[in-house]
Structure 1
Amino acid sequence: MSRVGQTTAMVLALACASGGAFAQSESGKPVYRCPGTPVLYTDSLSAKEAKEKGCTTLEGAPITVIASPRRSAAPSAGAGTSPAATSPRPDARVDPNDQRMRDNDARRILELELRREEEALAALKKEYNNGEPERRGDERNYQKYLDRVAELKASLARKESDVAALKRELGKLQ
């Protein structure tokens, strides 16, 4: 089926409008509903082809055509811009002072984040209390207490892995 046929093939029959009028596409051709999986709505068939395939003409139904998305053509080698204009050159170097400032900023940010995570880890360890946290007033049901202990243990494991990852990142920068 041609691209134009595919575009018009995706036609949806919505609500019936007028009694005996035939549904027509934008081109003025009748629209056929052809059986199969998926059901095909098209205006690219002739009356003879439609009859052979068992298609029926849509009558009195307003239609909506959904156009298939257009694919953009890949730019050719000589089209407008050179690859060097769109991406940084591999031989281009960053000024050493700029790079040093970036590295220092990254290190400072990681150290700050590591401090926060270590503080949160210490608070979790204190609350976890080696697997025996204090029971709260709303934990009269022992299962609630056990659920909270399990959540604390999982949170503790996550925080420990976060701290370890931050330490690894800091190690890469030094």
Structure 2
Amino acid sequence: MSFPLLLSWLASVAVMLGVGSAHAQGTIWRCGNEYTNHPGPQPEARGCRVVEGGNLTVVESGRAAGNAASPSTVRPSASSPSASATGARNGNERVGRAEQQARDRDARLILETELRRARERLAELEVEYNQGQPVRLSSERGDEARYRDRTDELQRRVERARGDVAAIERELERLPAPR
């Protein structure tokens, strides 16, 4: 079989199998963060909305063997090893009180560590900024514009660091009181 004939034959087989040909997917629904072709009974009651206009790219991942769910609605089950290892749960499961308290303690520890680091960064920047009068670098001695640009940049960095500290403090306030 010649090469052009082989390519022609492969192309026709690919078209018959649907490779390379576009096909309509029907109605696409958005149910929270999930996009699906099969929203189930009464999708509006579940808060599902039809996706209109625009382009939607669907990337299908591999499924575990024996999973009967459609590819567009695959979710880890609570009994699967990956779900239990990552702590993933479906919306109907509740976390036990002890586990939630442990999670809250971990979150508080992480946020307190980040708050300490953010405060250290802020303190360093405030020293460098020196209330709008940073120490002139040797390259800035005769160049007022360069000094002004660096001062403005330091001011922006100080303001950003203050905002970071305030945001972390707000997150800490949202957590339940430690027990």
Q: Normalization by structure 1: what TM-score?
A: 0.54
Shift of 1:171: 0.3
Distance 1:172 1:142, change over 3 A: same
Q: Which runs of 5+ in 1 are unaligned?
A: 1-24, 28-65
Distance 1:117 1:85, change over 3 A: closer
CA-based RMSD of the aligned residues comes to: 3.8
* Matched-pair identity in %: 39
User: Alignment partner of 1:138: what SS?
Assistant: helix
Count how many residue pairs are aligned between Structure 1 and Structure 2.
Answer: 116
Larger C-alpha radius of gyration, 1 or 2? 1
Describe how 1:58-69 pairs up with structure 2 within 5 A. Answer: 67-69=20-22
Provide, for residues 6-37 of structure 1, a one-character-per-residue CA deviation record: whole Å limited to 9, x for no partner: xxxxxxxxxxxxxxxxxxx948xxxxxxxxxx
Q: State how far apart, in whole Å, the 2-side matches of 1:76 and 1:146 are.
A: 58
Name the structure 1 match of 2:155: 153
Structure of greater relative contact order (alpha carbons < 8 Å, 6+ residues apart): 1
Shift of 1:86: 5.0
Q: Which amino acid is 1:159 matched to?
A: A
Shift of 1:77: 4.9
Name the structure 1 match of 2:118: 117
Q: Which amino acid is 2:159 matched to?
A: A
Shift of 1:126: 0.8
Distance 1:104 1:132, change over 3 A: same
Q: State how far apart, in whole Å, the 1-side matches of 2:172 and 2:101 are.
A: 15
Provide, for residues 63-94 of structure 1, a one-character-per-residue CA deviation record: whole Å limited to 9, x for no partner: xxx93555667348599339797564443211
Q: State how far apart, in whole Å, the 1-side matches of 2:24 and 2:114 are.
A: 44
Match of 2:69 among 81, 90, 93: 81
Q: Does 1:98 align with 2:86?
A: no
Q: Normalization by structure 2: what TM-score?
A: 0.53
User: Alignment partner of 1:134: what SS?
Assistant: coil
Q: Which runs of 5+ in 2 are unaligned?
A: 1-6, 10-18, 27-36, 42-66, 78-88
